[in-house]
């Protein structure tokens, strides 16, 4: 598999499942392919290459990816020249077996080998089929090209993999051990993005707080934030995801001192019961989590805190679940991503009975979501009458003469305006707090 691939007027269709990490990987795969002459298409029927970037964190997105790939069989039968590949965590986990399980699949590409995509397609051009490229490079993550178009808000990977081994989680198996990028590379990438028009960056990693934890000469995470803050032209910094185990007082303090760091923290808590947290191997207690929330609000009273939570983990009793609801009431999250536990082959918890019946999981999820909806709406209504800074992202989906953007606390705001505002920071007075967004009018 050698030589540089340059193709004329070929089209690639990419479908992405799962998290921001996968969205970022898909963006970078597209950038690699554009460099080889491919154009993106939204229509699989007109594509020369179809790529499904998958997620295996939970059962549902994994099943959705398989069923989508199944739908491409007919396309392949109609046009055997079309190349169908699978990328992402399902590819990493399934490896060569996927080529047998899905006989019309042409290649399997793991998340640690994205940079080899042009090489794989070159081999396909030369007639090879059934390639499987998975695994991880040792050492620092490989550099990938920047997206070609301007991105007002861009993702920047600062670390890959995870060393935490939460007992329910497949990520360490499919994304490898924790590897941090050198800070110089990160800073150079952000400077290049700003040069192309980026105003906001979101630093990505499974556990960004642990950035370069095992690599002492490198900057710590808060030091990295301070350096990024000093890059001219950058307006906003965000990061995700944070693990309570590695959230230091120094990082909490950064919210009060790093000017461009937005007042929003996504800090998953997963469960409110210490017994469940211990079985999950989360490495923190309920009380420790509550102390961190208190400290965050002491340093930055307006900070918005969002989280991930799961229901129906093996052994979760009604009393454990009540403690999850109590924790939610105590914290009053600004938003919550909630999931029903699904057993993932290869994790420690997969060896334990998945003993919470589906109807109970569903009922718990609904109760939890209902509680959160009330909290979110109340908090959004409390913002009525306040003035907030919005980074204007584009036209509102519901009205052509309204624009949409985000506050520093990551709330969506819609307000009357026109497209020349895109990319600007404007002040908006909030007139109405809704369930999932705010409405307002420009002021000042
Ligand atoms: N690294 C992040 C952290 O530690 O919070 C998140 C990683 S994971 C991709 C995103 C979320 O998926 C987790 O926070 C958890 O709530 C959920 N999740 C992970 N494994 C799961 C499983 N087996 N069943 C249900 N939800 C799961
Ligand atoms: Fe998975 Fe836990 Fe690592 Fe997050 S910290 S990716 S939940 S193992």
Please provide the DSSP assignment of 297-346 as one string: HHH-TT-EEEEEEEE--TT--HHHHHHHHHHHHHH--SEEEEEE----TT
What pLDDT digit, counting tens, does each position of 247-279 carry? 999 999 999 899 999 999 999 999 999 999 999
Residue closest to 390 by CA, chosen among 371, 410, 414, 406: 406
Encoding tokens for residue 377? 């709406």
Whose Cα sits closest to atom 2 in ligand 2? 166
Strands 335-340 and 304-311: parallel
**pLDDT band at 3, cuts 50/70/90?**
low
Task: Please state, in angstroms and as integers, the Cα–Cα distance from residue 377 to each residue in 120, 213, 294, 371, following that order.
Answer: 49, 38, 22, 10
Ligand 2 center to residue 270 CA distance, Å?
11
Ligand 2 site, CB within 6 A: 162, 164-166, 169, 171-172, 206-207, 243
Ligand nearest to the CA of 208: 1
- The reported pLDDT for the residue numbered 142 is 75
The number of the ligand 1 atom at minimal distance from the alpha carbon of 19 is: 9
Ligand 2 center to residue 169 CA distance, Å?
6
- The reported pLDDT for the residue numbered 417 is 97
Q: Which residue in the block uniquely carries the two structure tokens 């642990």?
A: 210
**pLDDT band at 7, cuts 50/70/90?**
low
Phi, psi of 109 (to 5 degrees): -130, 115
Query: Average of pLDDT values for 427-442?
Result: 98
Phi, psi of 47 (to 5 degrees): -90, 150
**pLDDT band at 8, cuts 50/70/90?**
low
Whole-number percent of the chain with pLDDT over 70? 98
- The reported pLDDT for the residue numbered 35 is 87
Taking the C-alpha atoms of residue 403 and residue 393, their distance in angstroms, rounded to an integer, is 8
Q: Is the shortest distance between the CB of 336 and ligand 1 below 6 Å?
A: no
Torsion of CA 345, 347, 349, 350, to 10 degrees: 20
**pLDDT band at 217, cuts 50/70/90?**
confident
Model confidence at 423: pLDDT above 90 = yes
- The reported pLDDT for the residue numbered 345 is 93
Rounded to the nearest angstrom, the gap between the alpha carbon of residue 70 and the centroid of all alpha carbons in its chain is: 25
Q: Do residues 84 and 120 make contact, with C-beta atoms less than 8 angstroms apart?
A: no
Whose Cα sits closest to atom 4 in ligand 2? 206
- The reported pLDDT for the residue numbered 237 is 98
Q: Is the shortest distance between the CB of 57 and ligand 1 below 6 Å?
A: yes
Cα within 13 Å of Cα(5), Cβ side: 24
Q: What is the DSSP letter of 220?
A: P
Phi, psi of 27 (to 5 degrees): -55, -45
Whose Cα sits closest to atom 4 in ligand 1? 243
Cis before 241 (ω within 30): yes
Model confidence at 364: pLDDT above 90 = yes
Q: Which residue in the block uniquely carries the two structure tokens 């969506």?
A: 412
The number of the ligand 1 atom at minimal distance from the alpha carbon of 342 is: 24
């Amino acid at each position: 598999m050698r030589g540089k691939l340059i193709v004329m007027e070929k089209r690639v269709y990419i479908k992405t499942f799962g998290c921001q990490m996968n969205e970022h990987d898909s963006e970078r795969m597209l950038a690699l392919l554009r460099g080889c002459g491919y154009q993106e298409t939204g229509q699989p029927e007109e594509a020369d290459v179809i790529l499904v970037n998958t997620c295996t964190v939970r059962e549902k997105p994994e099943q959705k990816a398989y069923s989508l790939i199944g739908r491409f069989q007919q396309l392949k039968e109609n046009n055997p020249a079309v190349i169908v590949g699978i990328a992402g965590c399902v590819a990493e986990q399934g490896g060569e077996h996927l080529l047998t399980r899905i006989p019309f699949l042409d290649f399997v590409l793991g998340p640690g080998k994205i940079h080899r995509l042009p090489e794989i397609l070159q081999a396909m051009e030369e007639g090879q089929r059934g390639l499987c490229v998975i695994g991880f490079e040792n050492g620092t993550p490989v550099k990938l090209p920047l997206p070609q178009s301007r991105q007002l808000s861009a993702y920047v990977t600062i670390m890959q993999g995870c060393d935490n081994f939460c007992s329910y989680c497949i990520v360490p198996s499919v994304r490898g051990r924790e590897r941090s990028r050198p800070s110089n590379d990160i800073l150079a990438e952000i400077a290049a993005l700003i040069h192309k028009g980026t105003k906001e960056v979101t630093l990505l990693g499974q556990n960004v707080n642990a950035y370069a934890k095992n690599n002492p000469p490198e900057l710590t995470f808060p030091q990295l934030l301070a350096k990024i803050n000093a890059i001219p032209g950058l307006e906003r910094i965000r990061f995700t995801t944070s693990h309570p185990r590695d959230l230091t007082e120094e990082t909490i303090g950064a919210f009060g001192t790093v000017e461009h760091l937005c007042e929003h923290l996504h800090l998953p808590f997963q469960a409110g019961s210490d017994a469940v947290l211990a079985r999950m191997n989360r490495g923190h207690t309920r009380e420790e989590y509550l102390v961190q929330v208190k400290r965050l609000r002491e340093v930055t009273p307006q900070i918005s805190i969002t989280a991930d939570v799961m229901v129906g983990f093996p052994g979760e009793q009604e009393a454990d679940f009540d403690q999850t609801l109590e924790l939610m009431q105590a914290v009053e999250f600004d938003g919550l991503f909630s999931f029903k536990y699904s057993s993932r082959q290869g994790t420690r918890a997969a060896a334990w009975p998945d003993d919470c019946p589906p109807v109970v999981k569903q009922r718990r999820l609904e109760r939890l979501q209902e509680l959160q909806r009330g909290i979110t709406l109340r908090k959004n209504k409390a913002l009525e009458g306040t003035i907030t800074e919005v980074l204007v992202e584009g036209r509102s989906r519901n009205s052509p003469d309204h624009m949409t953007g985000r506050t520093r606390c990551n709330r969506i705001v819609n307000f009357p305006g026109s497209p020349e505002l895109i990319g600007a920071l404007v002040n908006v007075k909030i007139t109405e707090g809704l369930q999932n967004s705010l409405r307002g009018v420009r002021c000042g």
